[in-house]
Amino acid sequence: MDPTQRLPASLTSLDAALAALLRNLAPVTPIELPLVDAVGCVAADIPRFEPVPPRDVAANDGWAFSARDLVGASSYSPLSLAAPPIWIEAGAPMPDRCDCIVDADAVEQTGSIVQIMAEAVPGQGVRRAGSHIAGGMAAIGPGRTVTARDLLVARSAGLQRLSVRRPRLRLVNIPAISGDTATAELIAESARASGAEVVRADATGRDAESIANALDTDACDFLVTIGGSGVGRTDATIAALAKRGDVLAHGIALQPGRTAALGRIGAIPVAALPGAPDQALGVWWMIALAALDRLSARNPRPTQTLPLHRKIASQVGIAEIALLEKSDHGWMPISVGDLSLAAIARADGLLVVPGTSEGFAAGTPVDAYILRDE
């Protein structure tokens, strides 16, 4: 009997495959992490902040005054002071009855005579209470990816930990005949960049029994396999998935990524990605990342609408991924369906041409997912 995996006669549409994987998938329970470990995770329930600064402070070094006491002072008509002024450093609380800061060279002292040679207005050189963070606001909204800038806000507010959602992703690499692990490393790095806690594992062989033994879901929220999903003579990932759970779809109407499979082991969703980097990345972008976002309760990923500089032609019946480069206030297609490594590295945006479409004419405004933060 021929043990080779086979694709079904009809491929599963991208929409149907995605719906099957996301069905009944709920966000993971938030956890508290030290600030340094929270970067890249998705914010959950962040407490309302106290005002920062809690009271008026000096925004720069200088002399603290009440502005009403300086009316009329100038270099032509210096105002003599009855008492020496108060020197204050940036960040220090403002002294009582003082509401402005003047520069050091605005005050002259000759013996016991002290003169001010400039007026000021209330609030000059002063950072008002709550000007950095207003009291009661949530500066890090739920569903947002935590960045280094958010940590600055959290530290300024006196927080030491943040409540975040960090799905646990188990990544099982099916050993390639060549021994190459570049695809597994790519997906692991992409998952970490999306806020997942990644645990790597390797199947001991390419046979169904060895792969099935590596499909451990006890300590994960999402299981992703790399390799062995095609119809080659040594491909057995789908057979292994069938041994451990349910195969929801094998063969997705997506290019690249046609030989991918989706399933469940108990309540844990499983995505079986092809071993080639472009094929795996196509499925990661369009399906696996959506599952990870659902588990993280992440806000929708950013898109940008720009006109196409050149037409995109696509075959009806299969969704195709187009990689785009931003150029002259528009999107320039650099690869459609067949994604070279150079195109993957260059791309600024990603566009999905639906299976019902033949493509887009030049000049058509299209909504592309942003692949770069800069």
Helix, coil or strand: residue 192: helix
Is the pLDDT higher at 120 or at 82? 120
DSSP state for residue 299 in the 8-state scheme = P
Query: Do 314 and 333 form a contact (C-beta atoms < 8 A)?
Result: no
CATH 2.170.190.11, the chain: domain bounds: 57-127
Q: Binning pLDDT at 50, 70 and 90, where does residue 1 land? A: very low
pLDDT digits (tens, 9 = 90+) for 306-327: 999 999 998 889 999 999 999 9
- Answer CATH for 14-28+167-296 from 3.30.1130.10, 3.10.105.10, 3.40.980.10, 1.20.120.1200: 3.40.980.10
pLDDT digits (tens, 9 = 90+) for 87-120: 999 999 999 999 999 999 999 988 778 899 999 9
Which residues have CB under 8 Å from 68's CB, separation 6+? none
Q: What pTM did the predictor assign?
A: 0.83
Pairing of β 62-65 and β 31-34: unpaired
pLDDT digits (tens, 9 = 90+) for 151-203: 988 888 888 999 999 999 999 999 988 888 999 999 999 999 999 999 999 99
CATH 3.40.980.10, the chain: domain bounds: 14-28+167-296
Cis peptide before 167 (omega within 30 of 0): no
Mean pLDDT of 41-46: 90
Task: Domain 303-370: state its class.
Answer: mainly beta
Q: In whole numbers, what is the pLDDT of the chain averaged over residues?
A: 91
How far CA 313 is from CA of 15, 93, 140, 156, 355, in Å, comes to 20, 64, 41, 51, 12
Q: For 239-273, b where at least 16 C-beta lie within 10 A, e where not — what string? A: bbbbebbeebbbbbbbbbbbbbbbbbbeebbbbbb
Which CATH architecture fits 57-127?
Beta Complex (2.170)
